[in-house]
Amino acid sequence: MKETALAVFDMDGTLFELVVDWKALLNDLAMIAYEDRHVGPFKDLVEAYEWCRSRERAKERMVLVQREYEGEHLKEARRVVPGTSAARWRLNRGKMCSIFSLNTADTVEGLISSWGFYPVVTVDRTDRVKPDPEGLFRAMETRGVGPLSTVFVGNSPRDREAASRAGVSFIDVKDIREEWFA
């Protein structure tokens, strides 16, 4: 792996595996939308948050519901060893690390508040969600680096697309090799 100034990490599936009933969460988010005349369930969180972008107060209500679902079993979250090892290695050496996640700030802070990630860009701290690269741009701007000096570590096609749209390198967490950080 090439040396990068900034490593931005996804949360769920990259650093930790959260225990969340995503289908039930999406159903509850659809109920919020139903009250506002939306018809049918959402296929994923991105669709839910894209729908509420133009609706006053809908996002705040959705974030509250998501925060509750994520927090229910937060203590049961399991580390994703390659991702947490890579993050710890970088942070212990004073290297810049940020978070860009579809999870809520409370979830991220509940799991890694003392690790030293900055900035932490979450669904409730940004106007646009992945695969929109807004969170990656915010992390780079905050840290004063550009796309050529940044890598996004994630686990999904949505993460890969966000990296591509931001012009940054992407590493799938399952492809991280321990020797890169030895």
Cis before 82? omega within 30: no
* Mean pLDDT (the chain, rounded): 90
> Looking at residue 178, what is its pLDDT?
64
Which residue type does 73 have? H
- Give the pTM: 0.90
The answer, yes or no, to whether residue 87 has pLDDT greater than 70, is yes
Q: Where are the beta strands (DSSP E) in the chain?
A: 6-9, 16-17, 78-79, 96-100, 120-121, 150-154, 169-172
Indicate the pLDDT class of residue 172, thresholds 50, 70 and 90. very high
Least confident of 108-112, 113-117, 176-180: 176-180
DSSP label at residue 95: -
